[in-house]
Structure 1
Amino acid sequence: MSLLASVTLDPGTQGGTGAGIASWFEAVLAGPLAEVMDRERSGGATSLAVTRMEESEESKEFFLPSDGWGPMRQELMRDPETANVVLLLPDSERPIAHVRSSSIRVRRPNVEVQLLLDEQMARLDDGEYCESLVDFLVSALNSVNPAFGHVSADQPMTEKTNLDVVLGRKVRKSVAEARQFLRGYSWVTVCPVELAERLGGVSSLESSGAFCSVIPLAAGGVVLQATETIFEYSDEAMRRVFSALAPVLPPGFPAFDPANPDVRFVPKDARQLG
């Protein structure tokens, strides 16, 4: 099973979206991808790193093993339209990891930052590994004040959330309203500070019984972990998360989308509980 971590940044991002993008890439390279980056220095892996400031401009390449992280970080701070780091193993037909930021679909000044790990990297039944994923997420977002985020299994690298799919919401609309309605929910959900306050804050979220871990972020927002491992994120656990977050979820009755059969959701209108 693959793993997707995806976070929405917006004008409320502390220090600007460029700083948020740089924080994301830095945390990924120092956390989930640190071991593979070390292997690249000895020829055991290959990275492809590029940024593009505007659609009309050419991409700029970076050679992380020789150049180090500094030059790419400086470019990310300028808030590029897209940025990508792709990691491949020798004789691999597809990447084992992809780090991305893009404003194309969510529209500037918003940006989506993402990490996709294939099944070779994602040990979804390993409690220690899953704990390290949550630690990485907190490290990446602690100074950012994100608008939304989630960590999910077996989902494509898309800006759409589970609720975007089953409620038929446009990505641009759900991003624009991310601090009014939570964009979605998953094994790990990042709730912005505005919605966390409407839910009663950290103490209320902890007492809801829906989360095994509730971690406040220093710049605003909270990281909500439903179960110790992603493997344990059952339908029952998902229903508990849905019930706890219902007061801040967008209204509407969700409908199964045959084009996205793996999207997980609770078949209820949040207004029934919220």
Structure 2
Amino acid sequence: MTIRFPILSVHGLHRATIAGILVAGLVSPPAFGHKTYIASERTVWAAGDTIEVSLTSALDYPNIEFGPARDRVAFTSVVVGDVPVDAPDFEETETALVISFDPQTTGFAVVAVSAHPRSGEIASEDVDSYFDEIGADAVVRAAFAALPGSPAMMRSYTKHTKLFLCVAECETGRDAGMRATGQALEFVATGEEGRSFALLRNGERVSGQMVDIHGVDGGHATVETDADGVIQVDHAFSGPTLLSAVWITLPDQASGTYHSDQATLVVTLD
């Protein structure tokens, strides 16, 4: 089911730290690392149901493979029919962190979860593989390669996830899909049509940013946000679809910490 949204006004533009590279059409997926996302067994839940969704990481979408611990969660927002849901429950399992809640309203729902930042050291021989994983471009790679010797790389990352679904119906509160939840990097619907999404960095649209699109059938495409920070999802994708983007913040010096914000959205398309 595709939800069609009202028109959203254009936010101010924000210069992307890393330029995206457009790859037209469907292509074979690159060797990226684990994808972290929120999955739901249903697109539309019945009124009165206890809704359960799964925060998981997997090498390939839509697999459910590895679940984070509850203490990894830094931020949670659940809205159903434009009404916030307080204090959802969390259950740790081997394959997912299960988030459950009992909404008192029906309508369009947005579930958003961000993790605490993690940091660590990447051995010099693994730096190129890590850059491949996060989609770093030539500017980032060249800055690090110019360092003397063969240093390890200091990196940190934060993962931001979001899911669109519906409870009984999809009309009430549907503009919630167009509003930022406050995540450092996130996708929102634009309202222009059901396959149009904007990428926001701290609430501002970002242009020239690479976005990966994954379908449940293994289809993959890489597109670039336009001058308004928007992408269009091709009609080759239908059913539950994953959008994914990475924003890299360069350190003041190449020897500093490279931070990446990684955002995903799962949305069901006609």
TM over 0.5: no
Highest RCO, 1 vs 2 (Cα 8 Å, sep ≥ 6): 2
Which of the pair is proportionally richer in strand?
A: 2
Which of the pair is proportionally richer in helix?
A: 1
